Each structure stands twice: as structure tokens, then as C-alpha cells.
């Protein structure tokens, strides 16, 4: 899938005021059935990059849900997302939206602002590496017995 180029940003509608981890896109960019790999999948993480300053954020993609003003070149972001991207309303906007890779999502949550998210991610990564280490040493011990 090639990245989407966005030139307009608006605030999330009031119905999404407590869901600051989403981005609303035009429905033509979203595939809810997960069959068209040329479009973004609903509720999948996406990387939004401000090309002007290189700032990046990760949000979950959703369709426009009858939100007024969302065109094919518009994204609806929460206040914190616009702030992290360094977007001012009167500036020229040049955003890139693309599907996030698993490593990017892990790195994003590794340094997340919320302590609960950051701690659980770090514990999960530690548990993964300890599990792999235990598996390798278990197989090595088994191999040495034969």
C-alpha cells in the first residue's frame, strides 16, 4: 500500500472526545472487511508523519462516521496528536499516513506517555525474551543429553 498524502487537519468530533488514540479518515481509505490491501484496515495502527518537521505519531484508523468536513485529503485528529505533530491551523499541512509495522508499534508503546501502557509493554518484551531464552536453553540441554 502506498502512503496517503493529507493536506487538511480538523479536530475529532465531540462524539470521539474520549478516544484520543484514533484518527478519522475518509471512508474511501478504510476497508472494514480487510480484503483490499491497497486501503487501510479499520482499527489497525497507522503512522502519521508531518513531513515538515519529521514528527510521527501512531493512531488507530477509523472511517469518518458521518463527520462533516472529512474529505479524501483530510484527517481528523485529537488535540494532543496535532500538538505532537507540531501542526498549527494556519500553516500549510503535509502529512503522510501509512500502515504501521509491528516494530514501530512496539517502539511507540515502549516510550508511551502513560505509565501503565509503558510498563506493560516493557514487561511483555521482557517476558518474551525470557521465554525465548528458556526455550533455547531447554533445547540445548535436551540436545546435550543425546
Cell of 105: 508499534
Sign, CA dihedral 108-112-116-120, equals: positive
Cell of 92: 500549510
Asked if 62 contacts 23 with a C-beta cutoff of 8 angstroms, the reply is: yes
Residues 15-74: tens digit of each pLDDT: 776 777 899 999 889 988 888 889 999 999 999 999 989 999 999 999 887 777 788 999
Residues 23-33: tens digit of each pLDDT: 999 988 998 88
Asked if 121 contacts 106 with a C-beta cutoff of 8 angstroms, the reply is: yes
Q: Is the pLDDT of residue 140 over 80?
A: yes
- pTM: predicted TM-score of the whole model, two decimal places: 0.85
CA distances for 84 relative to 49, 55, 58, 141, angstroms: 10, 7, 11, 49
CA distances for 123 relative to 58, 101, 110, angstroms: 21, 20, 10
Amino acid at each position: 500500500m502506498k502512503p496517503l498524502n493529507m493536506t487538511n487537519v480538523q479536530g475529532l468530533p465531540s462524539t470521539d472526545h474520549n478516544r484520543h488514540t484514533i484518527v478519522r479518515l475518509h471512508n474511501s481509505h478504510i476497508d472494514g472487511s480487510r480484503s483490499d490491501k491497497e486501503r487501510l484496515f479499520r482499527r489497525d495502527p497507522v503512522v502519521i508523519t508531518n513531513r515538515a518537521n519529521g514528527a510521527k505519531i501512531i493512531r488507530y484508523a477509523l472511517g469518518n462516521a458521518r463527520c462533516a468536513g472529512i474529505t479524501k485529503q483530510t484527517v481528523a485528529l485529537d488535540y494532543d496528536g496535532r500538538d505532537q505533530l507540531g501542526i498549527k491551523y494556519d500553516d500549510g499541512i503535509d502529512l503522510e499516513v501509512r500502515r504501521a509495522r509491528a516494530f514501530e508499534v512496539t517502539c511507540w508503546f515502549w516510550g508511551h506517555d502513560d505509565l501503565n501502557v509503558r510498563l506493560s509493554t516493557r514487561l511483555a518484551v521482557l517476558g518474551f525474551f525470557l521465554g525465548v531464552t528458556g526455550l533455547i536453553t531447554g533445547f540445548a540441554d535436551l540436545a546435550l543429553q543425546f
